[in-house]
Structure 1
Amino acid sequence: MKTSYLVSSALAGALALGCVAQAAAADEKTAREKCYGITQAGQNDCANLSGSHSCAGQATAAQSPDEWKYVPKGACKGLNGLSPAEAKARLGKK
């Protein structure tokens, strides 16, 4: 009985590694960039520029220039977003 659990676990782990590797390869093909000032409240991707939080989903205001979200490379301008340099300039950071 224990052997079947061990074999099942090993097989599940091997399959999961294959899926992770495939997802990582797909991610590398799709270039992404940080786009500031386009997020909705609670939908940012990670820490903001001002340092008031350090986690995804903690934005408190929509379209805040210090909150960002990953978008396909080249799509930020079409969304009226800011590049990292533009966002830092707007916030007065170096």
Structure 2
Amino acid sequence: MYKRHALIAAALATVCAATAAADAPKADQEKCFSIAKAGQNDCAAADGTHGCAGQAKADKSSADWKYVAKGTCTKAGGKLTASK
């Protein structure tokens, strides 16, 4: 039974590590607030309303963000910092 638990734990750790690596920004990306559509944000809300990607409740929420190529955020109508 313990081997089974160890295998499950190892599999979950691998999935979590792969997900965390995918969420990390590349050197040519920046956080862009107020452009994410509902359910398409990249990580936790700046105001603490949720803690994970894909949990934005509304389009273009000022607390939710997506990674975009550097220099394109404001051109797309977004902001580089969260609104208060």
With the shorter chain as reference, the TM-score category is: 0.5 to 0.7
Structure 1: give runs of 5+ residues left out of the alignment. Answer: 1-26
Take 2:69 and 2:54, find their aligned partners in 1: how far apart are those partners? Answer: 19
Higher Cα radius of gyration: 1
Q: 1:66-85, aligned counterparts within 5 Å?
A: 66-84=63-81
TM-score by length of 2: 0.67
Structure that is richer in helix per residue: 1
Q: Residue 40 of structure 1 aligns to a residue in which SS?
A: coil
What is the aligned partner in structure 2 of residue 63 from structure 1? 60
Paired with 1:52 and 1:38, the residues of 2 have a C-alpha distance of: 17
Among the aligned pairs, what percent are the same residue? 48
In structure 2, C-alpha distance between the alignment counterparts of 1:52 and 1:80, rounded to whole Å: 22
Normalising by structure 1, we get a TM-score of: 0.60
Q: How many residues align?
A: 62
